[in-house]
Amino acid sequence: LACQPEQIKQQDTGSHSTGSQGKQVQLVPNPAMVKPGSGQLTLPSTVSVSASPDAPDSLAALGELLAQLGVSQSPNDNAIIRLVIDPNLSLGEEGYQLAIEENVTIKAATDTGLFYGVQSLRQLLPAVPQASYTLPQVFISDQPQYAWRGSMLDVARNFFSLDYLKQHVDRMAAFKLNKLHLHLTDDQGWRLEIKSWPKLATVGGSTQAGGGPGGYYTQEQMRELVDYAARRQVEIIPEIDLPGHTQAAIASYNELACDYVVNSPAQNQCTDVTGAARLALYEGTCVGFSALCTSEKPDLTYQFVRDVLTEVAAIFPTKYLHIGGDEVLNEEKASFAGFITEVDRIVASLDRELLAWEEASVGDIRASSLLQLWNDQYNIQPALDKGIHLVLSPCSYTYLDHGNYDGQPNTYTWCAKQGIPLARVYSLTPEDYPQAVGVEGPMWSELVRDSATADNRMWPRLTAIAEVTWTPKQQRNYTAFTKRLSALQGHLDRLQIQYYPEPDVNWR
């Protein structure tokens, strides 16, 4: 391709220089191909827009962009910004071309592709209103390397408001991230209204780690979020963590626990969970002590799982239902594999695919399932041999509850003693895993009590995950990335992100 020299130059400087005026193309994630032109395009004071009829989401995003910049639109046959659906464009479901010459033309096979073209245009324009707008002439041809570009929020340990979730979707979309995995249930809280088991939310949702009011989302609120996210090309992946991490469910419906548990000692590390506490609400941070009672009460257990997943499937249109499957360390460990096998049958009967943490590989699950790799300590080879694909969340690269730096307060260190700086996240190479569908950065929230802290943990590290998943390896370079990121500081501010001021990035 003709763009080769510019790409090499870009790796040195972090930006694609265009023309003598020095207007630069500085995008995160870095596009697959950028061919700078030599001139500039100054937008007229009113801008006319045209769009293919089947492009509602990208047209809305463009409208929002122009409104934010105070640019008014005028109806005019000679459109300055054009959104064109071209079914013959071979850049996949999410790819686009952005050509800035005498006008701005974004082409894609789908509305999703056009939406990403608009996000790139957004980054090329200033974050805040100016007197006039000048764009570099450039030709970009771009498509993601991976389909799964994810963020996980643990809304169970700490409850996050619906407004925060929407804001998070906006931020994800700006960096072309497309999967928001919500960890909806855990020992410390059940966050989703389930009509057939109402106490899950009203009782199980009333606590959180470290104490506090907790909270839950109604089904209507989650439908609203699903729709809000879909219009920004983000899919909400719901997780109901089973059969462990279920203390909030057990506290809501004691019959879900095995009868023997009240008389058993706590699972050895969890000294705060003994006797009656094994049936009570939990606000601590220990893991592995709770489980549904597959061994003694299979009928009740599977009825519960079927009821819950049936309601979940009706709210979330996603192909994959995340059923957890992590860290069963108590007496029910022995029946774990059979449980996972049975849950996959339930998921199949709902016409969905199974997604679970890597421990679930011991179950007899369909080859079309996805496993989420997190600690690389389980033998998942048999599952890989079967053809199962992976969402990569290796904890020493992607666990965003670990510090941005060594010794950051209120962070975990169990997987990376010195924290996980931006450079470390960026160094993850998904290409090393042939069966990967992408990467996800989990933000567990045992130690995160508010949205400012959540922002600090997720940003800018999620921008590294965006680039690692979107951009091919040859176009990735950490120094160049930090330069492009610093050029987007205004955009982080516009999105009101309270990011960690990572010292590798030259912030103004």
Give the integer Cα–Cα distance in Å for 321 and 302.
16
Work out whether the CA dihedral 155, 157, 161, 165 comes out positive or negative.
negative
H helix intervals, 134-185:
162-174
Q: Shortest approach of ligand TNX to residue 284 CB, angstroms?
A: 12
Question: Length of the chain in residues, anyone?
Answer: 508
Q: How far is the CB of 397 from ligand TNX (least distance, A)?
A: 13
How many residues form the binding site for ligand TNX (CB under 6 A)? 10
Phi/psi of residue 128, each to 5°? -125, 160
d(CA 309, CA 304): 9
Check residue 35 and report its DSSP letter. Answer: E
* CA–CA gap between residue 219 and residue 197 (Å, rounded): 13
Phi, psi torsion values for 109, nearest 5 degrees: -80, -20
Site string for ligand TNX, 428-467 (x = CB under 6 A): ----------------x-x---------------------
The angle at the Cα of 196, spanning 195 to 200, to the nearest 5 degrees, equals 75
Q: Which of 135, 201, 279, 287 binds ligand TNX (CB under 6 A)?
A: 287
Is residue 401 a contact point for ligand TNX (CB under 6 A)? yes
As measured in angstroms, the least distance from the Cβ of 183 to ligand TNX is 8
Q: Which helix (H) or strand (E) holds 336?
A: helix 336-349
Joined tokens for residue 258: 């095995």
Q: Of the candidates 228, 302, 412, 433, which one interacts with ligand TNX according to CB under 6 A?
A: 412
Cβ at position 54, least distance to ligand TNX in Å: 39
Interface residue with ligand TNX among 282, 399, 426, 459 (CB under 6 A) is 399
Pairing of strands 134-142, 96-100: antiparallel
**For ligand TNX, which is the closer residue by CB, 197 or 357?**
357
224 or 327: CB nearest ligand TNX: 327
CB of 411 to ligand TNX, least distance (A): 9
Nearer to ligand TNX, 160 or 481 (CB): 160
**Which region, left, alpha or beta, applies to residue 275 given φ > 0 means left and ψ of -120 to 50 means alpha?**
left
DSSP secondary structure letter of residue 130: -
Least distance from C-beta 322 to ligand TNX, angstroms?
A: 10
Nearer to ligand TNX, 287 or 293 (CB): 287
CB of 132 to ligand TNX, least distance (A): 48
Report the site for ligand TNX in 160-219 (rule: CB under 6 A).
none
State the nearest-atom distance from the C-beta of 467 to ligand TNX, in Å: 23
Integer distance in angstroms from the first to the last C-alpha of the chain? Answer: 36
Q: Minimum Å distance from CB 350 to ligand TNX?
A: 23
Written as one string, the DSSP assignment of 109-121 is SSHHHHHHHHHHH
Report the residue number, 329 or 505, with the smaller CB distance to ligand TNX.
329
Pick between residue 332 and residue 446 the one whose CB is nearest to ligand TNX.
Answer: 446
Query: Which residues have CB under 8 Å from 73's CB, separation 6+?
Result: 46, 47, 48, 49, 63, 66
- Enumerate the β-bridge partners of residue 356: 371
Between CA 376 and CA 394 the distance in angstroms is 7
Contacting ligand TNX within 11-70 (CB under 6 A)? none
33/275 Cα distance (integer angstroms): 61
C-beta closer to ligand TNX: residue 6 or 326: 326
Site string for ligand TNX, 318-357 (x = CB under 6 A): --------xx-----------------------------x
Q: Which is nearer to ligand TNX, 218 or 375 (CB)?
A: 375
Shortest distance in whole angstroms from residue 189 CB to ligand TNX: 12
Which is closer to ligand TNX, CB of 80 or CB of 400? 400
Query: Between residues 94 and 359, which has the closer beta carbon with respect to ligand TNX?
Result: 359
**Which helix (H) or strand (E) is 463 found in, with range?**
helix 461-470
- Given the rule CB under 6 A, which residues bind ligand TNX? 287, 326-327, 357, 374, 399, 401, 412, 444, 446
